[in-house]
Structure 1
């Protein structure tokens, strides 16, 4: 299950993930990220992981494939907040933070949900939420 969560910052793509994630659900997430990238110079991601069990093979292949296509475009991402109480997820997120230096990745326990939402909404100093203010008009 992957469902979108509303967030007050327009450059943040927020979602709640649990149970089994299908290829169709993952494609909707990819589409949302790509739409945010068209509208904003930098995007951030928020993922609340609650009871995630696994991904279908199709979802896993889409996830890996999309991730590989983004390696040359990491400057378009700012932050990723992962909300979880699972230690194994925290370890993976910390490894990704070390591997992908262009994206700041942090984990938050569920009790710090509000702090995660606030942190992920922040933009780099000097950047604004409105793409027009930054002279950005899409790719």
Structure 2
């Protein structure tokens, strides 16, 4: 499940992932991304991962189509907050691979630091 959440930052896209991601949920998030891109806004993303239970195949296809269509240049900063250490390592690796995007993983206890990172870079 993907649930859009409010983190008190009007320019950020914020959502929580818990369990399995459906195609409909993926389309909802990607529509928000596209809307900001069409307004020439840089994407600032807050992602809170409670648990990952997989994703519908069509949801993954939609995500890959989106990235093939728009690329990564629209992303500015991404903060991923989770208690799963392997996700922190993955996010940090992605941050090194995609140098144009500031990406960091944060433990749940450091949510305030994640928000500060998104605001200030």
TM-score, with normalisation over the residues of structure 1? 0.78
Residue 69 of structure 2 is matched in structure 1 by: 69
Task: Mark the runs of 5 or more structure 2 residues left unpaired by the alignment.
Answer: none
Residue 108 of structure 1 is matched in structure 2 by: 106
Task: Mark the runs of 5 or more structure 1 residues left unpaired by the alignment.
Answer: 124-139
User: Does structure 1 conserve the Cα–Cα contact (< 8 Å) formed by 2:89 and 2:105?
Assistant: no
Cα deviation code 1:40-72 (max 9, x no counterpart): 53120010000112111111111222222232x
Change (3 A) 1:113 1:91: same
Spell out the pairing of 1:14-93 with structure 2 (5 A cutoff): 14-39=14-39, 41-71=41-71, 74=73, 76-93=74-91
* Structure 1 or 2: more strand by fraction: 2
User: The residue matched to 2:20 in structure 1 has which SS?
Assistant: strand
Question: Greater relative contact order: 1 or 2 (C-alpha under 8 angstroms, separation 6 or more)?
Answer: 1
Rg larger for: 1
Residue 119 of structure 1 is matched in structure 2 by: 117
Query: Where has structure 1 moved over 3 Å in runs of 4 or more?
Result: none
TM-score, with normalisation over the residues of structure 2? 0.89
Superposition CA RMSD, Å: 1.7
